[in-house]
Amino acid sequence: MIDTVIHVAIRSYKRAGLVKTIEIVPFAWIWVCESEEAEYREWYGDRVVAVPDEEDGGLARKNNAILDRSPCEWTMILDDDITRIGYWEAGGRVWMDADQIEGLIENGFIMADDLGVKMWGINQNRDELLYNTYCPINLLSPILGPFTGHLKPELRYDDLADGKDDYDYWLQNIQKHHKTLRLNRYHYDHGHGSNRGGFVSMRTMSREIAAVQYMRKKWGDAVFKEGGSAGGKSSTGKNILNSRIRIPIKGC
């Protein structure tokens, strides 16, 4: 299914030689802007896909370029700093190899298609205490940027949401399709916010504040709130690098 039905894309920026995800997902393709193509090809050869610079310039624009240009109907978009993908079993964590990850991606898309959803992903929190054995999936829980599967997507990322574009895109899916699929058993480990290059090189407190204000105006305070378990603080003391979402739809 990989490269025939499913295209696996790693979005990357200013990290030539530092793309961690390709080490555990060697069948993926690394998407970069044309101005960085030559540097990336020195490290990753033919696994590099370039898009015009004018179609890049931020996470939302790169995601849209991938969705617009993907050669397959189903597209997986991954961050470039994922170091491990694993799951909980019998009280212990199991880290997956490339073949197992390929199986997870293929089965995830098949299950999502069977359920009639347009977007799927895995748990962004790897804390064992937050994994509910008796709730293996959620249809109304957020799916964020580092690991997102798209099935013939009609929607596109909102560039005005800036660093909150993944929250916005998930809300768009819930608004239009009323469900997405999150596999709670699986989770990823990454260097989010600590690695050189990437979106973190463009991230400033003023941009974060502007993105939060935009999201609150677009979706309302009852749906989107700043705050989370980790991240930077605004002048009011609130965490604005992570956010909370509460949607007015009953379900799991």
Q: Give the Cα separation of 88 and 187 in Å (integer).
A: 9
Residue 133 lies in a domain: yes
Residue 188 lies in a domain: yes
Residue 250 lies in a domain: no
What is the per-residue pLDDT for 248?
A: 78
What is the per-residue pLDDT for 225?
A: 81
What is the per-residue pLDDT for 230?
A: 43
What is the per-residue pLDDT for 234?
A: 43
For residue 55, with 0-12 CB atoms within 10 Å meaning exposed, 13-18 middle and 19 or more buried, which class applies? middle
Give the total number of structural domains in the chain.
1
Residue 216 lies in a domain: no
- Tens of pLDDT along the chain (252 residues) come to 999 999 999 999 999 999 999 999 999 999 999 999 999 999 999 999 999 999 988 899 999 999 999 999 999 999 999 999 999 887 788 999 999 999 999 999 999 999 999 999 999 877 766 666 667 899 999 998 899 999 999 999 999 998 899 999 999 999 999 999 999 989 999 865 555 555 655 666 788 888 889 999 999 988 988 765 444 444 444 445 567 788 877 665
Q: Give the Cα separation of 220 and 218 in Å (integer).
A: 6
Cβ(52)–Cβ(34) below 8 Å: yes
Domain boundaries, position 151: 6-195
For residue 10, with 0-12 CB atoms within 10 Å meaning exposed, 13-18 middle and 19 or more buried, which class applies? buried
Tell me, what CATH number does 138's domain have? 3.90.550.10
Cβ(167)–Cβ(161) below 8 Å: yes
Residue 162 lies in a domain: yes
What is the per-residue pLDDT for 198?
A: 53
Residue 175 lies in a domain: yes
Q: What is the pTM of this model?
A: 0.88
Cβ(86)–Cβ(186) below 8 Å: yes
Q: To the nearest 10°, report the CA torsion of 51, 57, 63, 65.
A: -30
Q: To the nearest 10°, report the CA torsion of 14, 17, 18, 23.
A: 130
Q: Which residues contact 234 (CB under 8 A, 6 or more apart)?
A: 205, 208, 209, 212, 226, 240
What is the per-residue pLDDT for 194?
A: 52
Cβ(55)–Cβ(65) below 8 Å: yes
Q: Which residues contact 26 (CB under 8 A, 6 or more apart)?
A: 98
Residue 30 lies in a domain: yes
Per the listing, tokens 């949401």 go with 161
Instruction: Extract the runs of DSSP E, i.e. beta strands, from 36-163.
Output: 48-51, 74-78, 82-89, 92-95, 119-123, 137-138, 147-151
Residue 251 lies in a domain: no
Residue 59 sits at φ, ψ, to 5 deg, of: -60, -45
What is the per-residue pLDDT for 208?
A: 83
